[in-house]
Amino acid sequence: MYSDMTPYRVVIQRGGTSKGIFIKENELPKDPEARARVIRGIFGTPDRREIDGLGGADVLTSKLAIIGPPSCDGADVDYTFAQVSFDTELIDYGGNCGNISAGVGPFAIDEGLVAAVEPVTRVRIHQVNTNCILYADVPVKDGKAAAMGDCRIAGVPGTGARILLDFHNTVGSTTGKLLPTGNPTDLVHVEGYGDFEVSIVDAGNVLVFIEASSLGLRGTETCSEIEADKALTDKIEAIRATCTVKIGMAATLREATEKSAYVPFFAIVSPSADYLVANDGSTVRAEQVDLVSRLSFMLHMHKTYPGTGTVCTGAAARIPGTLVYKLLSPEARERGVLRIGHPGGIITVDARAEDPEGTRFASLAYERTSRRIMDGICYVKNDRL
């Protein structure tokens, strides 16, 4: 044992197109400030390279899942999500990550928190940040979560065991309403930039949707093209921050940027079109997707598409009058599955409304894969604690 470092048992787990540190609740201090110091020590942040910790120096890999016993009826485990900033000391608990959510069921099974039942174990997950129940159907083999399978998801090499995640119980989980402003679209005035038409929807996470043409974009730009345009990214954050204040998630624009950088997400949507996939140069054809989207969170562009963003885009597609709904063909509006073209390829969501207004859902489900990459001890220097 080291006298100048403290050990913490952790797991590195990939969930969908994200990767995070998974840790049991009882490993962390209960005091919020002490807990934050431990988390920053584990990740090695703030530091853009996170060189002295386990963080991956990317918004898709600087994520934390805290798993513990259930604190409510109808759940098997509690799951608290945190987006850990590598630019600042911020640890944002404001929402959930749908990709990291895919790792919660396998983790719970592998850790013995949920009994393994072959061939598929349903794990009922109490998502603490949004106080709702998620359902994960996890393939099981020989008492552990299966890693091998034939499910392929855009943005992840190879194939894996198919995990079905259903978020239909998450409508309004952050703001209390599916449409936080009460409207499918709103015209918002953004100081220094003018007026913009947006749709704000709360399902899975809160998303601000805007048409690419409103920003002078085609909608098929790469993440690097968007991030290289500082004037554009400043405008995007100004619009997002204005909407954050509008729905009461922050009191000021500054607070929205500094303390609520994770949510709302910001989705730039456009009609279906041909474009090149950034990571392998393959082509997504217009006829393969129902719309194209580019999404920003934590002041960075998402290199694929978040699971909760997928859920919310699926919900928005079923609500007449939203910008997403307006972009869809009549056939796509009626189809149960929505196909979203993102920078890494295509993701689909089974979005089936129970009513014509799209206010209640029978399903908001999508498939992911996940696997344990490493488990062991992470040592944190005591001067960080």
Residues 206 and 307 both lie in one domain = yes
Residues 212 and 360 both lie in one domain = yes
Dihedral (CA of 315, 320, 321, 327) sign: positive
The tens-digit pLDDT sequence of the chain (385 residues) is: 799 999 999 999 999 999 999 999 999 999 999 999 999 999 999 999 999 999 999 999 999 999 999 999 999 999 999 999 998 999 999 999 999 999 999 999 999 999 999 999 999 999 999 999 999 999 999 999 999 999 999 999 999 999 999 999 999 999 999 999 999 999 999 999 999 999 999 999 999 999 999 999 999 999 999 999 999 999 999 999 999 999 999 999 999 999 998 999 999 999 999 999 988 889 999 999 999 999 999 889 999 999 999 999 999 999 999 999 999 999 999 999 999 999 999 999 999 998 877 778 999 999 999 999 999 999 999 999 9
173 in a domain, yes or no? Answer: no
Task: Tell me the two tokens of residue 224.
Answer: 């690097």
Q: What is the pLDDT of residue 356?
A: 76
Residues 281 and 303 both lie in one domain = yes
Query: Could you give the CA distance from residue 49 to residue 62 in angstroms, rounded to a whole number?
Result: 11
Say what the pTM is: 0.90
168 in a domain, yes or no? Answer: no
359 in a domain, yes or no? Answer: yes
Number of separate domains in the chain: 2
Question: Within the chain, where are the H helices?
Answer: 32-43, 98-110, 223-227, 230-246, 253-259, 307-316, 323-327, 330-334
Residues 193 and 83 both lie in one domain = no
Residues 202 and 247 both lie in one domain = yes
Residues 91 and 144 both lie in one domain = yes
Nearest-5° angle of CA 107, CA 116, CA 77? 50
Domain of residue 14: give its range: 5-162+370-384
Residues 200 and 348 both lie in one domain = yes
Which CATH number belongs to the domain containing residue 137 in this structure?
3.10.310.10
Residues 115 and 257 both lie in one domain = no
Find out whether 311 and 127 touch, Cβ atoms under 8 Å.
no
Residues 45 and 156 both lie in one domain = yes
Residues 319 and 380 both lie in one domain = no
Query: Could you give the CA distance from residue 337 to residue 304 in angstroms, rounded to a whole number?
Result: 19
213 in a domain, yes or no? Answer: yes
Residues 324 and 374 both lie in one domain = no
Residues 114 and 223 both lie in one domain = no
98 in a domain, yes or no? Answer: yes
Phi-psi region of 40 (alpha: psi -120 to 50; beta: other; left: phi over 0): alpha
Is cis: bond before 264, omega within 30 of 0?
yes
Query: Could you give the CA distance from residue 332 to residue 325 in angstroms, rounded to a whole number?
Result: 9
In three-state secondary structure terms, 321 is coil
